[in-house]
Amino acid sequence: MPKIEVTELLARVGFRSPSEKLRAFVEHAIRGKLGPVETIEGMVAIERREREDRNLVERTKRASLGSFPPLADFDWNHPRKIDRNLFEHLHDSLAFIERAENVLLRGQSGVGKTMLAQNLGLAALSRGYSVRFSTLAAAMTDLLQKESLPALERCLRNRYLSPSLLIIDEIGYLPCDSRSADLLYNIVNRRHEKRSVVLTTNLAFKQWGTIFPGASSVAALVDRFVQHCHVIDIDADSYRQKKSIRSLAKKPK
């Protein structure tokens, strides 16, 4: 009967680590004369890291964060007003997720709201939380195209209710109908005091009625969202516009 390598035996019982990693460790264990317990602990540690890495890759794919600059690239000196201490506390501790609290990033277009929200999402992913990022327009299109109530409920539950952190971007940039307002209220209400929501907007709460004209659920939506909410207002000129002006100034005349 042919001899079966230990890496193949491990694969048969469910180890997912690449065989070359396991083989290299076995060789290290033999050379270092590690005992059986140390060898088993080492292989389990390799397998745990592999599963954590794969889990992070899968959760990152489902999060749909897209590409964005790291937090280190954010110019904190650009805004005239921003509560940097609050944001860094939220980002570093992520306690708001544990407490099912919400975050609002508010300011005009181009001041970095989306970048900051995406970095909150990345921090949550790196700490083991599930995350979902979407613009309001994309989320509503996703939900409204469902042809039956069961399909709508499955989509709501899987994509917008189950993640530990839901980020909805660009509230206020495009008008929505009353059904969209009801869906957003449904999401916020069902996540209320259970899971966190991060919203970005360019409008004050009193202006949200202009996003969903005629919708009766707007007041209830705001009421639910703000009950446990950290508000970060960003008072600044458009950073994108500033960069564009700088680029044009550098061009030879």
In a domain, 178, yes or no: yes
Indicate whether 45 belongs to any domain. yes
Kindly state whether residue 183 falls inside one of the protein's structural domains: yes
Do the domain assignments include residue 252? no
Cα–Cα distance measured from residue 191 to residue 168, given in angstroms and rounded to the nearest whole number: 13
45 and 87 both lie in a single domain = no
The whole-model pTM stands at 0.79
Q: Tell me which DSSP letter residue 4 carries.
A: P
Q: Place 1 in a pLDDT band, splitting at 50, 70 and 90.
A: very low
Within 8 A by CB and 6+ apart from 192, the residues are 100, 224, 227
In the three-class reduction of DSSP (H, G, I as helix; E, B as strand; rest coil), residue 38 is classed as helix
| Number of domains the chain is built from | 2
How far apart are the C-alpha atoms of 223 and 148, rounded to whole Å?
Answer: 29
In 3D, which of 58, 56, 108, 60 has the Cα closest to residue 82?
108
In a domain, 204, yes or no: yes
pLDDT for residue 247 is more than 60: no
Structural domain including 209 reads 71-241
Same domain, 14 and 131: no
202 and 137 fall within a common domain: yes
pLDDT band for position 239 (cuts 50, 70, 90): confident
Considering only CA atoms, give the Rg of the chain.
24
Confidence at residue 240, expressed as pLDDT on a 0 to 100 scale: 67
Q: What is the pLDDT of residues 77-136, one digit of tens each?
A: 999 999 999 999 999 999 999 999 999 999 999 999 999 999 999 999 999 999 999 999
| Residue 203 contacts residue 171 (beta carbons within 8 Å) | yes
Q: Which of 41-50, 102-111, 168-177 is modeled with the greatest confidence?
A: 102-111
Closest CA to 209 of 181, 230, 167, 173: 181
Q: Which residues pair with 131 in a beta bridge?
A: 165
DSSP one-letter string for 63-128: HT------GGG--TTS-SB--HHHHHHHHHH-HHHHTT-EEEEE-STTSSHHHHHHHHHHHHHHTT
Q: Which residues of 108-124 are buried (b: 16+ CB within 10 A; e: fewer)?
A: eebbbbbbbbbbbbbbb
Identify the weakest region by mean pLDDT among 2-6, 17-21, 199-203. 2-6
Same domain flag for 172 and 75: yes
